[in-house]
Amino acid sequence: MDIRFFSCLVLSFLFGKTVTTEAQRFSFGQCELSGVSLQELKNYFGAIRETVQTQDNRTDVILLKESVLQDVPTSESCCLLRHLLRFYVESVFRHYEPTSNLLRRKTSTLANAFLSIKTILRNCHDQNKCSCGEETHRRFKLILEEYKTLDNNVAANKALGEMDLLFAWMEGFKS
């Protein structure tokens, strides 16, 4: 069985269960996300938080600065979230080296959840409901530039350790 197919089945089961109990609705500009459980994502992050934050030796660097996430125009919030989730899926999770099977499973589940949400946001973008302006590109570029100054493993730990900042920002779009 293809591992991606299996991961999607597991994710469908997890989020199918979550949808009935803790599903939330978010409005990122004109893009509506429903059936997403931010609490479920936070729980998975909580299982790895201490480890990744302990492994983060670069306390002088912050990727998800308040200045980057604060006051994002609502109309461009979908675009920024789409870029951030793509960044996590394509760079952060890819370069993270878990130190145990538990960490591997939790980060894999988070990566799959991010991929699912990113797909919804991509559909919004394709339907012109997810506008991307210069301000969003500038903000995202600041994150990427800071990320690229670090070694891949160090940068991945840093970004994973800051996921609570991403979740707090997303919480602001709950409808």
Encoding tokens for residue 23? 């599903």
Quick one: pLDDT at residue 24?
Answer: 85
Quick one: pLDDT at residue 7?
Answer: 39
In order of 59, 116, 152, 172, the CA distances from 111 in angstroms are 24, 9, 17, 22
Q: How far, in Å, CA of 41 to CA of 57, rounded?
A: 24
Tokens 């960044």, residue located:
87
Contact 39, 144 (CB under 8 A): no
Bridge partners, 24 (sequence order): 36
Quick one: pLDDT at residue 21?
Answer: 41
Quick one: pLDDT at residue 36?
Answer: 83
Quick one: pLDDT at residue 35?
Answer: 80
Quick one: pLDDT at residue 160?
Answer: 95
Contact 121, 130 (CB under 8 A): yes
All structural domains of the chain, each given as residue ranges with its CATH number in brackets, are: 3-171 (1.20.1250.10)
Cβ neighbours for 114, distance < 8 A, ≥ 6 positions apart: 85, 88, 89, 93
Q: At what angle do helices 38-55 and 163-171 cross, to 10 degrees?
A: 150
pLDDT along the chain (175 residues), means of 10: 38 41 82 88 91 89 91 92 95 93 92 93 93 91 95 94 94 91
Contact 159, 50 (CB under 8 A): no
Tokens 């461009």, residue located:
76
